[in-house]
Amino acid sequence: MDFSDSPEERVYREKVHAWLSANASPAVAEQDLSVVADADNVPRAKEWQARKWAAGYAALTIAKEYGGGGEAPIKQVIYEQEEAKFDVARGTLDIGLGICIPTVVVWGSDAQRDRYVKKALSGEEVWCQLFSEPSGGSDLAALRTRAVRDGERWIVNGQKVWTSGAHFADYGLLLARTDPAAPKHKGITAFIVNMKAAGVEVRPIRTMAGSAEFNEVFFSDVSIPDSDRLGPPGQGWQVGLSTLMHERMKAGKGFGLAGWKKMLDIARNARIDGAPALKDSRVRERIADNWAQEQALRLLSFRAQTALSQGGIPGPEQSISKLVDGTLAQQAAAFMLDLVGEPAVYAAGSDSPLRSVYSSWMWAAATRIAGGSDEILRNVIAERVLGLPTDARPDKNTPFNEL
């Protein structure tokens, strides 16, 4: 594990930092995650993406011929680390840019890459990911949305759920069942779907935080031209695996919901039974414990970073980072809410420095589900890191329509 930048990486970091300093203001507060998938945030996110595109920072790991930077993944990590220090709209376009578009680059035809990649990288078109369904979340291969071939087009009927950003997306990466007689992993095909097409209906789901970042999406006789099929028929599972690999890598980079410094700030101003909260040894112990776990996560991220720096890819240990990070974020958020108490609720939506305490707590639960739930991550760690016997999968080879 190597903790420091190589000489080349240091030069690149300085270059990126200089560009960011010239184009954005330093961040004064951590980003409020509750606004990331807010439609109001989209114009600002698109404007920032267009500026990155013009400067060559839009998608560093995508090949130059498709409009990316053609750089090694470590450059993307460095760029993101530096960008996080600035007050820019981060996160809103991530599903498209970090998950869908890299999948189009790998699986798309030349015509698809020409049509879709540059418009997404330049911030002109926004994408969403249409995978999860009421009957297929963790068990994604159980999805039931049907696509039936009709000459040079496919007719889609079914429902997706938890589709982040579908309410402002132009295109979606869709997995649908095209061969119900094949075993569940083998009868799926991937498509690019125009979210404005006739028969696509997006219904917002309001979360307990009061916002509506994700949606139900209904397909009623939606027509998709065969030219928008992504990859061969029946290979949708393999297409989806590319997508999920990008998603887990993204999720494992940290949600940044909490942080020991923020806990310390909150504790400095809070009181317990009339005395400063920091005088309470239980409070100090919690902050120290958080600090220790964050250091362990940092070291794990250095391990992934070292792998990237040496031209490798991070392994399933990324699941460990995501598992610990989500749990830590939720525990820290609950602790801060306890310390602040009722005023945290009134501060939400205001300019108060306490405004993110409540939304962090509301959001923390989602971090333990999105991009792979805790239990699924534990299965990955058990099977692929520890080499324990695999989960029972009795339905793997049975035709889907006989399950």
Ligand X SMILES: Cc1cc2nc3c(=O)[nH]c(=O)nc-3n(C[C@H](O)[C@H](O)[C@H](O)COP(=O)(O)OP(=O)(O)OC[C@H]3O[C@@H](n4cnc5c(N)ncnc54)[C@H](O)[C@@H]3O)c2cc1C
Nearest approach, Cβ of residue 342 and ligand X (Å): 26
Nearest approach, Cβ of residue 104 and ligand X (Å): 16
Counting contacts by CB under 6 A, is residue 242 touching ligand X? no
Query: Between residue 197 and residue 226, which ones bind ligand X under the rule CB under 6 A?
Result: 214
Counting contacts by CB under 6 A, is residue 122 touching ligand X? no
153's enclosing H/E stretch is strand 153-164
Nearest approach, Cβ of residue 376 and ligand X (Å): 5
How far is 326 from 257, CA to CA, in rounded Å?
9
- Give me the residue whose beta carbon is nearest to ligand X: 137
Other C-beta atoms closer than 10 Å to the C-beta of 64 total 10
Nearest approach, Cβ of residue 183 and ligand X (Å): 17
3-class DSSP state for residue 47?
A: helix
3-class DSSP state for residue 203?
A: strand
Nearest approach, Cβ of residue 372 and ligand X (Å): 6
Counting contacts by CB under 6 A, is residue 273 touching ligand X? no
Counting contacts by CB under 6 A, is residue 70 touching ligand X? no
Counting contacts by CB under 6 A, is residue 39 touching ligand X? no
Nearest approach, Cβ of residue 315 and ligand X (Å): 21
Q: Figure out which of the listed residues 376, 384, 395, 399 binds ligand X, where binding follows CB under 6 A.
A: 376
Q: What is the pairing mode between strands 171-177 and 127-130?
A: parallel
Other C-beta atoms closer than 10 Å to the C-beta of 112 total 17
Taking a C-beta distance cutoff of 8 angstroms, is the pair 334, 100 a contact? no
Counting contacts by CB under 6 A, is residue 318 touching ligand X? no
- Total residues in contact with ligand X, by rule CB under 6 A: 20
Which residue, among 104, 114, 157, 160, has the nearest Cα to 137 in the 3D structure?
160
Q: Between 67 and 165, whose beta carbon lies closer to ligand X?
A: 165
Q: Figure out which of the listed residues 26, 391, 392, 394 binds ligand X, where binding follows CB under 6 A.
A: 391
Query: Between residue 78 and residue 117, which ones bind ligand X under the rule CB under 6 A?
Result: 95
Q: Between 116 and 214, whose beta carbon lies closer to ligand X?
A: 214
How far is 287 from 291, CA to CA, in rounded Å?
6
Structure tokens at 69: 């930077």
Alpha helix locations (H) across 90-174? 94, 101-107, 110-121
Q: CA 11 → CA 7, 61, 70, 82, 117, distances in Å? A: 6, 18, 17, 13, 29
Q: For residue 62, list its beta bridge partners.
A: none
Structure tokens at 203: 């219904």
**Cα 158 to chain center, whole Å?**
24
Counting contacts by CB under 6 A, is residue 245 touching ligand X? no
Nearest approach, Cβ of residue 356 and ligand X (Å): 17
How far is 116 from 122, CA to CA, in rounded Å?
10
Counting contacts by CB under 6 A, is residue 370 touching ligand X? yes
Q: Between 255 and 260, whose beta carbon lies closer to ligand X?
A: 255
Taking a C-beta distance cutoff of 8 angstroms, is the pair 68, 60 a contact? yes
Rg of the chain over all Cα atoms, to the nearest angstrom: 22
Q: Between 139 and 221, whose beta carbon lies closer to ligand X?
A: 139
How far is 340 from 181, CA to CA, in rounded Å?
56
Q: Figure out which of the listed residues 164, 211, 305, 309 binds ligand X, where binding follows CB under 6 A.
A: 164
How far is 40 from 35, CA to CA, in rounded Å?
8
Each residue 126-145 as x (binds ligand X by CB under 6 A) or -, in order, gives --xx-xx----xxx------
Nearest approach, Cβ of residue 78 and ligand X (Å): 27
Nearest approach, Cβ of residue 154 and ligand X (Å): 19
Counting contacts by CB under 6 A, is residue 379 touching ligand X? yes
Footprint of ligand X (CB under 6 A): 95, 128-129, 131-132, 137-139, 162-164, 214, 366, 369-370, 373, 375-376, 379, 391
